[in-house]
Amino acid sequence: MKLELMGTMDMLTGVMNRNAMNNTVSDIISGKTKIANPYAMLFIDLNGLKRVNDESGHDKGDNLLRKAANVLKGAFPEGKIYRAGGDEFMIISPDTDEKALEQKLAHLEQISEESNVHLSVGTYIVQEGEDIRTAMHIADERMYETKKEYYEAHPERKYR
């Protein structure tokens, strides 16, 4: 059991890891796993992690990653949350339509501000019969667009 847990959990953040994410996606594609439609696909990037790591050390960066994961858990308690790698997360939020997603994103924004965690979020609502890989691609592209907008609005926070 412990070995299985280590194989699916990101030990730093307490959310599922990339291995679990890939397995879940494969299971959805194969039909082994079903998700209530519509569902929301989200890609989330933690803004400013590199700067924190470089200026304050990796311990502070690790704390920021844990804080970001907790913010995501608070906004999407029913969602499957994965750390896709580095400072990027993916969420599958079952039985979530546009209205429900708007409410969840408003809650996410509120608790992000309270926690001083800056996130770039890309979303896509998956309807019956749509391919999860397409949804992931669109949500990922949208996340990069919001990240670009974030740094255009806050150039002082950009770190190269």
* pLDDT surpasses 70 at 5: no
* pLDDT surpasses 80 at 111: yes
Q: Give dist(CA 143, CA 61) in Å, integer.
A: 21
Q: Give dist(CA 145, CA 71) in Å, integer.
A: 21
pTM of whole model > 0.85? yes
Strand ranges across the sheet with 80-85: 80-85, 88-93, 39-46, 119-126
Q: Please report the pLDDT score of residue 6 as a whole number.
A: 54
Lowest-pLDDT choice from 6-10, 42-46, 56-60: 6-10
Structural domain spans, the chain: 2-157
Q: Please report the pLDDT score of residue 2 as a whole number.
A: 42
Lowest-pLDDT choice from 21-25, 48-52, 125-129, 134-138: 48-52
Q: Give dist(CA 94, CA 84) in Å, integer.
A: 18
- What is the percent of the chain where pLDDT is above 70? 94
For residues 39 and 96, is the Cβ–Cβ distance under 8 A?
A: yes
Burial of 63 (0-12, 13-18, 19+ CB in 10 A): middle
For residues 89 and 81, is the Cβ–Cβ distance under 8 A?
A: yes
Q: Please report the pLDDT score of residue 121 as a whole number.
A: 98
* pLDDT surpasses 90 at 51: no
User: Tens digit of pLDDT for each residue in 112-151?
Assistant: 999 999 999 999 999 999 999 999 999 999 999 999 998 8
Q: CA Rg, the chain, in Å?
A: 16
Q: What count of Cα atoms within 13 Å lies in the side-chain half-sphere of residue 33? A: 14
CATH of 2-157, one of 3.30.70.270, 3.40.50.620, 3.30.70.100, 3.20.20.70: 3.30.70.270
Q: Please report the pLDDT score of residue 1 as a whole number.
A: 39
Q: Please report the pLDDT score of residue 77 as a whole number.
A: 96
Q: Give dist(CA 65, CA 83) in Å, integer.
A: 10
User: Tens digit of pLDDT for each residue in 53-62?
Assistant: 999 999 999 9
Q: Give dist(CA 145, CA 139) in Å, integer.
A: 10
